[in-house]
A and B are shown apart, each in its own frame.
Chain A
Amino acid sequence: MNAADIIILLPLIVISAAAVIVMMTIAFYRSHVLTSVLTIAGLAAAFIALLVISPMAPRSVTTVLIMDGYALFYIGLVIAAAIAVSALSFDYLKGRACNQDEYYLLLLLATLGACVLAASSHFVSFFLGLEILSVSLYALIAYLRVSERGNEAGLKYLVLAGASSAFLLFGMALVYARFGTMELAQVAQNSGAEKDLMLFTGLALIIVGAGFKLAAVPFHMWTSDVYEGAPAPVTAFVATVSKGAVFALLLRYFTVVDIRNYTALFAIFTIIAISSMFTGNLLALMQNNIKRILAYSSIAHMGYLLVAFLASGPLAINAVSFYLAAYFVTTLGAFGIITILSGKDRDADELNDYCGMAWQRPWLTGIFTAMLLSLAGIPLTAGFLGKFYVVTAGANSALWPLVIILVITSAIGLYYYLRIIIVLYEQPEHEGPGPMLQHVTLTGHFVMTALAVMLIWIGVYPSPIISIIQAAVAGLK
């Protein structure tokens, strides 16, 4: 390791340093404002560091981490999402009967874990990143200890994530036993196209571990409960950062291997994709809780992403990256609305809480509508182009059955998005603000507006971001 290695790791180091600084500050002086400002400043500094070091990429730092354009893109995405989540969390936590400060510490650590995953080129960093992320999330999900559902969600996540980590480790051990190496690139090289039961078992177990994080069917059982129980900003974080980082890693590995050489693995992923699309969209139809609806919708979205993932090839990598960027903006926006409207005793997650919102908060309703339409994939929004891109990738690789299932299930999905939207615009039965319509601060308005602008910008003029993605992932072949 030399100076250049240290410099290129600057974004990760800045986040770690920010975590330490926040921890020290809390020890001496508790102040919600100070902590949150430090956190956001730290993340912003990391983002700037990212831009500064980007000309140096690609560069492998030892065999464990690789800082190439692909990693930088995903780290940037993760940091940006973390900034949005911290900003949203401030109003959410303000005035609650708990220590607000440690929340930011955990958030920084979780972000660090996700960044490590995005840059991982080795089983060790894979596992380390995943654990840093998961352990922080256990605590974050159960952060509001007065909330029963929060505790239940935290415990559920802990048990299942622990089990899935065990699967993951066992899978890694098998692969290591077979090849004697833990570097992703070497594993990929050795594996070739030979039929090898040990390798296959190892990879399958790794897929179980990753599938759990992605909440793909059949590893999705935790999703709706955790989404519902966790504080809304944490849900946003789980839905975006944690899934995005794992998907980035998965894509990196299987791009090297080219999944289409492995019939069995390909079949497994196909089944996972199809069942995710169906299960997510069908179960979402039956929910009345917005967080649960979004939980199932996120399962469906992972299914769509897997279609592009299975398409493999340069177009597919672009499609996945674009889709994830669009999905980040959209999901943060949707959960952001829930966050800023949530009251102190419970989150604004019942459908009824939103009845007639349009006549009291036209601006926020407009943004929420845009986010939901984006999830549904309607034009002028980022989600439309994302879905278009994914279908394009699928069509390019002639995965017709998958593409047609994607189309059918996304048409089913429309139903529940429209259902929420109609509730927003209904004439409320009683006058005056609903119980859950909290006062929204300027910060909340600002973050939401920024997200909405990004949503429309990506949806209307995507050419710059496509160029960025193309440049970033070009090295990944």
Chain B
Amino acid sequence: MILAWIIIIPLTGGLAAWYSGRINRAWPRWISLISLMLTFVLVLGLWVRNPVRDFSNSGATWLIEFDREWIPQLGISLHLALDGLSLLLLLLTVFLGIMSVGISWTEIRERVGFFHFNLLWILAGVMGVFLAIDLFLFYFFWELMLVPMYFLIALWGHENRRYASIKFFLFTQLSGLLMLIAILGLYFIHGRATGIYTFDYMKLLGTSIPGPAAMWLMLGFLAAFAVKLPAVPLHTWLPDAHTEAPTAGSVILAGLLLKTGAYGLMRFAVPLFPGAASDVAPIAMALAVAGIIYGAVLAFSQTDIKRLIAYTSISHMGFVLLGIFAWDRIALQGVVMQMICHGIGTGALFMIAGALQERIHTRDMEQMGGLWSKVPRMGAVMLFFALASLGLPGLGNFVGEFLVLFGTYRVTIVMTVLATAGIVIATVYALWMVQRAFHGEGREMRSVPDFSLREMALMSVMIVLLVWLGLYPQPVFDRGREALNNLQKSTAGTFRVVPDNVLRVSK
């Protein structure tokens, strides 16, 4: 039941925040904060009460489960389940949720109640995605998080918000519907073969599907996840949406919504169709590498600071895609690490960009310059997260990227080498960004307030986390190990990790 509460609390909190906004402007913020804190406590409680265990003997998959009938006529149930992977992502979700409420404290001044309603409902949807293991329920949450995100961009966004929000919505909605068709295809294939019509992930796992059908169904899932991730030819919604969204929206988009795509690939696309997934693995990895380099090169040539950060996301998520399709033990650990650190690091960068815009009313780096002397604290924090983004050893992102490359190396050398080039370009754009915004000749402008105590507090937490993850990532590995083992076990023998036989080194 605790899993259901994790979703119910933000949902009701959202409704309460909306309503309270009509009475007092401050209330929605406090209500959101309190309900998220409550959720955070619940998730932490799950972490503490479920110590890392060894499942390999017991055959169990989940730490805890919640299973109720919902629409029995169609074989749909309210089936939520938690394993190490979902637990890590839940923590990330609630954490970034709290950060988003914090960073919006002064930025959002109008329609405060409705803003927080949307914020909390997105978070509920995202957590639902991480917990649902009934495919219908998964799709339900997948769609549920879109509408409030659309509102967030369309109502509180910047100049070009209308275009960006509709583009975002159409991309994700269309690809989501393709996934729905694939889900139904799987449902009927499984139903015809066994006589049991069900959307339950655990029962659908291991359905034997004839080759071409499996490929089509896998592509349906891949469409939805590759758009969300985003993988390169399907990424065009991302720079617009991230740039135009309000700060909290950008943080959630980059920090969480992209992760749902990666999570979907790991939990559903590959384990359900291991054969088809391994067939497309070479292409997917090539796209991943293309994304890494393309995102980095384009980031380098941006003048809009939020757009720059958005393109770095494409680059970073390329590593995630690469690691997933390498489907290697170490690479997958790296993927999880990369997801968490990218969520925190990019979230922080967007928060700084948002704070800058709130103060000097521009995102154009040509208009900035010389800010360091005026706002030294912002400069220092920005430098820190820029270094994290370029993968400085000692910070979390380095661990993630390194492990992905390490794991991928065992599968394909060519891709690994090409991907490494992305890290080099990352150094250029990250430092370039700091240099253009904070150093050099400054424009004449009236005094700019530096980070307030509230903002410094938020930033410090994120800095501490990244350093901690960089120096002592072991708890994350321990948490993720069993879950990842289970995922790999479900594809054992069918996912052939041989994108290029010639270049493969020893196992």
Chain A residues with a Cβ under 8 A of chain B: 358, 362, 373, 378-380, 384, 388, 391-392, 395-396, 403-404, 407-408, 410-411, 414-415, 418, 422, 425, 427, 461-463, 466-467, 470
For the complex of A and B, the 10 pairs showing the least CB-CB separation, nearest first, are: A411-B174, A395-B184, A407-B177, A379-B143, A379-B144, A466-B73, A379-B140, A463-B71, A411-B173, A422-B154
Q: Are A410 and B177 in contact (CB under 8 A)?
A: yes
Q: Does B468 contact A (CB under 8 A)?
A: no
- Given known contacts A395-B188, A463-B70, is B144 in contact with A414 (CB within 8 Å)? no
Give, as a whole number of angstroms, the nearest-CB distance from A165 to chain B: 38
Q: Are A415 and B71 in contact (CB under 8 A)?
A: no
Measured CA separation A196–B173 after assembly (Å)? 45
**Most interface-central of A358, A415, A418 (chain B CB within 10 A):** A418
Q: Are A466 and B170 in contact (CB under 8 A)?
A: no
Give, as a whole number of angstroms, the nearest-CB distance from B276 to chain A: 17
Measured CA separation A403–B182 after assembly (Å)? 11
Measured CA separation A254–B177 after assembly (Å)? 29
Give, as a whole number of angstroms, the nearest-CB distance from B116 to chain A: 15
Residue in contact with A392 in the complex, picked from B74, B143, B146, CB distance below 8 Å:
B74
Chain B: CB-nearest residue to A470: B73
**Most interface-central of A388, A403, A410, A425 (chain B CB within 10 A):** A388
**Most interface-central of B69, B165, B174, B187 (chain A CB within 10 A):** B174
Residue in contact with B184 in the complex, picked from A391, A414, A462, A470, CB distance below 8 Å:
A391
A-B contact pairs, 5 of them (CB 8 A): A384-B143, A392-B74, A414-B170, A422-B154, A470-B73
Q: Does B185 contact A (CB under 8 A)?
A: yes
Q: Are A418 and B169 in contact (CB under 8 A)?
A: yes
Measured between beta carbons, the chain A residues less than 8 angstroms from B181 are: 391, 395, 403-404, 407
Q: Are B150 and A418 in contact (CB under 8 A)?
A: yes
The contact string, 1 if C-beta is below 8 Å from chain A, for chain B 177-196, is 11011001101100000000
Give, as a whole number of angstroms, the nearest-CB distance from B454 to chain A: 27
Measured CA separation A373–B144 after assembly (Å)? 11
Q: Does B375 contact A (CB under 8 A)?
A: no
Measured between beta carbons, the chain A residues less than 8 angstroms from B74 are: 392, 466
- Given known contacts A380-B144, A462-B71, A463-B71, is B180 in contact with A414 (CB within 8 Å)? no
Give, as a whole number of angstroms, the nearest-CB distance from B122 to chain A: 13
- Given known contacts A379-B140, A463-B73, A470-B73, is B155 in contact with A425 (CB within 8 Å)? yes
Measured CA separation A388–B70 after assembly (Å)? 15
Measured between beta carbons, the chain B residues less than 8 angstroms from A362 are: 22
Measured CA separation A461–B69 after assembly (Å)? 10
Give, as a whole number of angstroms, the nearest-CB distance from B480 to chain A: 29
Measured CA separation A392–B180 after assembly (Å)? 9
Measured CA separation A384–B142 after assembly (Å)? 13
Q: Which residues of chain B from 274 to 307 have a CB within 8 Å of any chain A CB?
A: none
Measured CA separation A155–B140 after assembly (Å)? 45
- Given known contacts A373-B147, A384-B143, is B174 in contact with A392 (CB within 8 Å)? no
Chain A: CB-nearest residue to B70: A463
Give, as a whole number of angstroms, the nearest-CB distance from A58 to chain B: 22
Give, as a whole number of angstroms, the nearest-CB distance from A360 to chain B: 12
Chain A: CB-nearest residue to B143: A379
Q: Are A418 and B140 in contact (CB under 8 A)?
A: no
Q: Are A414 and B173 in contact (CB under 8 A)?
A: yes
Q: Are B166 and A415 in contact (CB under 8 A)?
A: yes
Q: Are A463 and B72 in contact (CB under 8 A)?
A: yes
Measured CA separation A407–B173 after assembly (Å)? 9
Measured CA separation A466–B155 after assembly (Å)? 37
Measured between beta carbons, the chain A residues less than 8 angstroms from B162 are: 422
Q: Does B130 contact A (CB under 8 A)?
A: no
Q: Are B180 and A388 in contact (CB under 8 A)?
A: yes
Measured CA separation A466–B69 after assembly (Å)? 14
Give, as a whole number of angstroms, the nearest-CB distance from B125 to chain A: 9
Measured between beta carbons, the chain A residues less than 8 angstroms from B173 are: 411, 414
Chain B: CB-nearest residue to A426: B155
Give, as a whole number of angstroms, the nearest-CB distance from B365 to chain A: 30
Chain A: CB-nearest residue to B162: A422
Measured CA separation A463–B141 after assembly (Å)? 19
Q: Does B54 contact A (CB under 8 A)?
A: no
Measured between beta carbons, the chain B residues less than 8 angstroms from A403 are: 181
Measured between beta carbons, the chain A residues less than 8 angstroms from B141 are: 379
Q: Does B151 contact A (CB under 8 A)?
A: yes
Q: Are A395 and B185 in contact (CB under 8 A)?
A: yes
Give, as a whole number of angstroms, the nearest-CB distance from A316 to chain B: 13
**Most interface-central of A378, A392, A410, A461 (chain B CB within 10 A):** A392
Q: Are A425 and B151 in contact (CB under 8 A)?
A: yes
Q: Does B110 contact A (CB under 8 A)?
A: yes
Measured between beta carbons, the chain B residues less than 8 angstroms from A470 are: 73
Give, as a whole number of angstroms, the nearest-CB distance from A457 to chain B: 13
Measured between beta carbons, the chain A residues less than 8 angstroms from B150 are: 418
11 new A-B contacts at CB < 8 Å, known A407-B177, A415-B166, A463-B73: A391-B180, A391-B181, A392-B187, A395-B187, A407-B174, A407-B178, A407-B180, A411-B173, A418-B150, A425-B154, A466-B73
Q: Are A427 and B71 in contact (CB under 8 A)?
A: no
Measured CA separation A358–B114 after assembly (Å)? 10
Q: Which residues of chain B from 97 to 122 have a CB within 8 Å of any chain A CB?
A: 110-111, 114
Q: Are B143 and A378 in contact (CB under 8 A)?
A: yes
Q: Are B188 and A396 in contact (CB under 8 A)?
A: yes
Give, as a whole number of angstroms, the nearest-CB distance from A380 to chain B: 7
Measured between beta carbons, the chain A residues less than 8 angstroms from B151 are: 425
Measured between beta carbons, the chain A residues less than 8 angstroms from B155 are: 422, 425
Q: Which residues of chain B from 456 to 499 have a CB within 8 Å of any chain A CB?
A: none
Give, as a whole number of angstroms, the nearest-CB distance from A473 to chain B: 13
Measured CA separation A470–B74 after assembly (Å)? 12
Measured CA separation A395–B71 after assembly (Å)? 19
Residue in contact with B73 in the complex, picked from A373, A418, A467, CB distance below 8 Å:
A467
**Most interface-central of B151, B165, B177, B184 (chain A CB within 10 A):** B177
Measured between beta carbons, the chain A residues less than 8 angstroms from B154 are: 418, 422, 425
Q: Are A427 and B184 in contact (CB under 8 A)?
A: no
Measured between beta carbons, the chain A residues less than 8 angstroms from B165 are: 418
Measured between beta carbons, the chain B residues less than 8 angstroms from A373 are: 147
Give, as a whole number of angstroms, the nearest-CB distance from B65 to chain A: 21
Measured CA separation A346–B349 after assembly (Å)? 52
Measured between beta carbons, the chain B residues less than 8 angstroms from A463 are: 69-73
Measured between beta carbons, the chain B residues less than 8 angstroms from A425 are: 111, 114, 151, 154-155
Give, as a whole number of angstroms, the nearest-CB distance from A428 to chain B: 12
The contact string, 1 if C-beta is below 8 Å from chain A, for chain B 19-40, is 0001000000000000000000
Measured CA separation A418–B154 after assembly (Å)? 10
- Given known contacts A378-B143, A425-B155, is B166 in contact with A418 (CB within 8 Å)? yes
Measured CA separation A404–B177 after assembly (Å)? 9
Measured CA separation A425–B174 after assembly (Å)? 24
The contact string, 1 if C-beta is below 8 Å from chain A, for chain B 64-96, is 000001111110000000000000000000000
Q: Are A415 and B174 in contact (CB under 8 A)?
A: no
Residue in contact with B170 in the complex, picked from A411, A427, A461, CB distance below 8 Å:
A411
Measured between beta carbons, the chain A residues less than 8 angstroms from B70 are: 461, 463
Measured between beta carbons, the chain A residues less than 8 angstroms from B184 are: 391-392, 395
Measured CA separation A415–B162 after assembly (Å)? 11
Measured between beta carbons, the chain B residues less than 8 angstroms from A462 are: 71
Give, as a whole number of angstroms, the nearest-CB distance from B484 to chain A: 30
Measured CA separation A379–B70 after assembly (Å)? 15
Chain B: CB-nearest residue to A393: B184
Chain B: CB-nearest residue to A392: B184
Measured between beta carbons, the chain A residues less than 8 angstroms from B71 are: 462-463, 466
- Given known contacts A395-B184, A411-B177, is B147 in contact with A378 (CB within 8 Å)? yes
Measured CA separation A470–B140 after assembly (Å)? 23
Q: Are A414 and B188 in contact (CB under 8 A)?
A: no
Measured CA separation A403–B184 after assembly (Å)? 11
Measured CA separation A427–B154 after assembly (Å)? 12
Give, as a whole number of angstroms, the nearest-CB distance from A354 to chain B: 15
Measured between beta carbons, the chain B residues less than 8 angstroms from A414 are: 169-170, 173
Measured CA separation A470–B72 after assembly (Å)? 12
Measured CA separation A388–B188 after assembly (Å)? 14
Give, as a whole number of angstroms, the nearest-CB distance from A126 to chain B: 31
Chain B: CB-nearest residue to A398: B188
